Amino acid sequence: MANPSLLILAGDGIGPEVMAEVKRIIGWFGEKRGVTFDVSEDLVGGAAYDAHGKPLADETMAKAQEVDAVLLGAVGGPKYDVLDFSVKPERGLLRLRKEMDLYANLRPAQCFDALADFSSLKREIVAGLDIMIVRELTSGVYFGEPRGIFPDNEGGRFGVNTQRYTTEEIRRVARSAFELARRRNNRVCSMEKANVMESGILWREEVQWVHDNEYPDVELSHMYADNGAMQLVRWPRQFDVIVTDNLFGDILSDCAAMLTGSLGMLPSASLGAPMANGRPKALYEPVHGSAPDIAGQGKANPIACILSFAMALRYSFDMGEEATRLEKAVETVLADGVRTADLMGPEGGTPVSTSGMGDAVLAAL
Amino acid sequence: MANPSLLILAGDGIGPEVMAEVKRIIGWFGEKRGVTFDVSEDLVGGAAYDAHGKPLADETMAKAQEVDAVLLGAVGGPKYDVLDFSVKPERGLLRLRKEMDLYANLRPAQCFDALADFSSLKREIVAGLDIMIVRELTSGVYFGEPRGIFPDNEGGRFGVNTQRYTTEEIRRVARSAFELARRRNNRVCSMEKANVMESGILWREEVQWVHDNEYPDVELSHMYADNGAMQLVRWPRQFDVIVTDNLFGDILSDCAAMLTGSLGMLPSASLGAPMANGRPKALYEPVHGSAPDIAGQGKANPIACILSFAMALRYSFDMGEEATRLEKAVETVLADGVRTADLMGPEGGTPVSTSGMGDAVLAAL
Ligand SMILES: CC(C)[C@H](C(=O)O)[C@@H](O)C(=O)O
Ligand SMILES: CC(C)[C@H](C(=O)O)[C@@H](O)C(=O)O
């Protein structure tokens, strides 16, 4: 059987630095665990724009469709802020999500014990936090038509975007959430603004339908998204799995991520329908952005990107044990007090660079 | 000159209870300070639905247009969840906002020193917090057309809402934010998703235009709304005034409110264009909802509603000194340890009912 294939798109800012450490880890799995990947690399975001005048070349898109999983670093940077909307770095990422039809974005918000004091929230509120946010990723206001900026009749302009969801778009992401809940604590909370938006009413009804017809054993609740933001801040451990749309998911998952206090630690997986080989289309990326302010200085924390690879092992390659091995190694390193700059708090620790963190994880493996 | 006029719409749940305390305070201002209001009362939300079959009678709407200010309690409750979208309690509130054209929703997120320990965030993060969120309130996805739920061609349905903003809608709320900033710490942060939504690009450009042409002295920054949610959690004191659209404002202002740990304390003002008498169209309401779980038990905290009246004194009646007098009375009461159930923490205090809190504020006045 052919080796599983991985396409690495390191992207912009700290993307290439953190990805360099992941590549060493991939190498380790090949050497020590006999888990060998066919790895190819390509450009995305600003880096792709610099090379091709667009944030994702068609050939790269085609490659992404063929591989078993894509690993992405980060896109964007101030240098590209002046670009036209259609060629901004983000469009490369959005194109991947859309054309690969990666409708379920899994964003765990997990608080690592060794880092609980980093949170701006009290330790007793966040210690042990372990939420899974499932964000719809291929529809809603991100992709709805009509969209654009148009002249109006009074010499001004108006901007339009369209929030649009279909029955099937809602049902399939709801299924992802219920499946995950079954393997976790069996609870799903769905968030929308059904009190204000008809698309939110449809969302609520369809999630309820999937529950009643297919997952009656999972506990389902509904919450308005504004209350959701409040409850995340007030008492985040009340949640197990949260399912929500693309735009609410963008904001709520970032809010949840920040609760943990260590953004540099959080991975994500974006999954689509199963391919011919049974594996889902998949893209893995850290939740943090390209952090242009620290790019190229060896300061970035590679753990979020490393844990994204762990998610790939689990969700794309059915290697749950290898994923756990990698996650445990990360925990060991943290418990040992190994710290990149972003993790350096008042209680100190051993300061390391990006590659120093990579060394430590490899040693722990 | 005629007395200033106030329309009280107590609404549902705890609305009538907290409003009862405000009425006593209004009475005190008449007796002791010679500040007399012509007060009328009417129904809104579920209470109006029960009486008229719709959440806001046309006569009530007409009255709201005529008075100097509307004071609203809260709307909604589980009893009304089954109602059709078009007659849900919320529609009454949304109609008031839309027809009075109350485009600038001012939501202060302030942390009261005596209550800082109530926050789920660490004291050092929230102590002294004083943010003003200016949320656009009459446009965007709350009101944009087309909207609705429609059958699709495959036997399913799709839900649609439309985010739409015009140049003028953005500029006028931006002006409100800049004006407020000048009287505060002179900084405005505007939030949108210009990296994903064209309406966000227009938002960013028009806010920048107002800044450059009319308020170059105010410091302006822009932030993506997802990052905004993170930054609110990470380090909220970095903000002075935040200006954002209707939907982002709904979520971000609730998130900010919860940072303070005492939702029962937070007022809001919704302001429109000046009327013939120079006063802005205005509606004042607490940020908390109708809290059906504690309604009718004398447990509700009336302070948010009382402070909403203080905002009315300041923004509608140019009585800044009287407003400050009322705000100081509330601070005194808190410093004295007077506590409704929601404010009762481990360090104890004197437990009081809703009317007990009203008594205490009156005594402090
Ligand atoms: C980079 C940007 C387009 C993206 C989004 O808005 O989805 C990011 O914020 C995310 O959450 O992955
Ligand atoms: C009650 C509801 C319609 C309302 C809104 O979404 O605007 C509320 O959440 C608010 O923020 O005032």
> Does residue B250 have its Cβ closer than 6 Å to ligand 2?
yes
Nearest CB partner across the interface for A164, out of B120, B121, B158 = B158
Q: Per the annotation, does B85 bind a ligand?
A: yes
Going by C-alpha positions, the residue among A103, A177, A179, A185 that lies closest to residue A136 is A103
DSSP string covering A289-348: ---GGGTTTT----HHHHHHHHHHHHHTT--HHHHHHHHHHHHHHHHTTEE-GGG-BTTB
- Structure-token pair, residue B62: 């007409």
Among A158, A166, A248, beta carbon nearest to B165: A158
**Would the CB of B227 count as within 6 Å of ligand 1?**
no
Structure tokens at B137: 């309130």
Q: How far is B283 from B192, CA to CA, in rounded Å?
A: 25
Q: What is the pLDDT of residues A285-302, one digit of tens each?
A: 999 999 999 999 999 999
Q: Which regions of B298-363 does DSSP assign to beta strands (E)?
A: 338-339, 350-351
Do B158 and A142 count as a contact with CB atoms less than 8 A apart? no
Residues B269 and B312 sit within 8 Å (Cβ to Cβ):
yes
If you ran DSSP here, which 8-state letter would residue B266 be given? -
Establish whether residue B230 lines the binding site of ligand 1, counting it when its CB lies within 6 angstroms of any ligand atom.
Answer: no
Q: Which residues pair with B133 in a beta bridge?
A: B107, B242
- What φ, ψ does residue B15 adopt, rounded to 5°? -50, -55
End-to-end CA distance of chain A: 26
Q: What is the helix (H) or strand (E) element at residue B313, kind and residue range? A: helix B303-315
Indicate the pTM of the whole model: 0.96
Task: Please check whether residue A170 is in contact with residue A138, taking contact to mean a CB–CB distance below 8 angstroms.
Answer: no
Query: How many CB pairs below 8 A link A and B?
Result: 190
DSSP state of B218: S
Substitution candidate for ligand 2 out of B83, B87, B93, B253 with most atoms within 8 A of CB = B93
Q: Do domains A1-112+262-365 and A130-259 have the same CATH topology?
A: yes
Domain B1-110+263-365 class?
alpha beta
How many CB atoms lie under 10 A from the CB of residue B79? 14
Gap between the Cα atoms of B75 and B45, Å rounded? 5
Spans of all domains in chain B: 1-110+263-365, 130-259
Six-digit token string for A239: 């949640």
CATH architecture of the region A1-112+262-365 = 3-Layer(aba) Sandwich (3.40)
- CB A143 less than 6 A from any atom of ligand 1: no
Residues of chain B in contact with residue A197, where contact means CB-CB under 8 angstroms, are 141-142, 147, 159, 161
DSSP state of B336: T
Choices 3.40.718.10, 3.40.50.2300, 2.70.70.10, 3.50.50.60: CATH for B130-259:
3.40.718.10
Q: Do A199 and B154 touch (CB under 8 A)?
A: no
Query: What pLDDT tens digit does each residue of chain B (365 aa) get?
Result: 689 999 999 999 999 999 999 999 999 999 999 999 999 999 999 999 999 999 999 999 999 999 999 999 999 999 998 899 899 999 999 999 999 999 999 999 999 888 999 999 999 999 999 999 999 999 999 999 999 999 998 889 999 999 999 999 999 999 999 999 999 999 999 999 999 999 999 999 999 999 999 999 999 999 999 999 999 999 999 999 999 999 999 999 999 999 998 888 999 999 999 999 999 999 999 999 999 999 999 999 999 999 999 999 999 999 999 999 999 999 999 999 999 999 988 778 999 999 999 999 999 99
Of the CA atoms within 13 Å of residue B341, those in its CB half-sphere come to 9
**Cα distance between residue B338 and residue B333, in whole Å:** 6
Neighbour-count burial for B181-196, b at 16+ CB within 10 Å, e otherwise = beeeeeebbbbbbbbb
CA distance A311 to B148: 38
B142 included as an active-site residue: yes
Cα of B137 vs centre of ligand 2, distance in Å, is: 10
Q: What SS3 class is residue A110?
A: strand
CB contact under 8 A, A230 and B165: no
* Distance from C-alpha of B328 to C-alpha of A323, rounded to nearest angstrom: 57
Pairing mode of beta strands A5-11, A38-42 = parallel
**What is the distance between the alpha carbons of residues A353 and A294, in angstroms, rounded to a whole number?**
12
Separation in Å, CA of B177 to nearest CA in chain A: 20
B151 bridge partner residues: B157
Digit-coded pLDDT (tens) for A102-157: 999 999 999 988 899 999 999 999 999 999 999 999 999 999 999 999 999 888 99
| A95 annotated as a binding-site residue | no
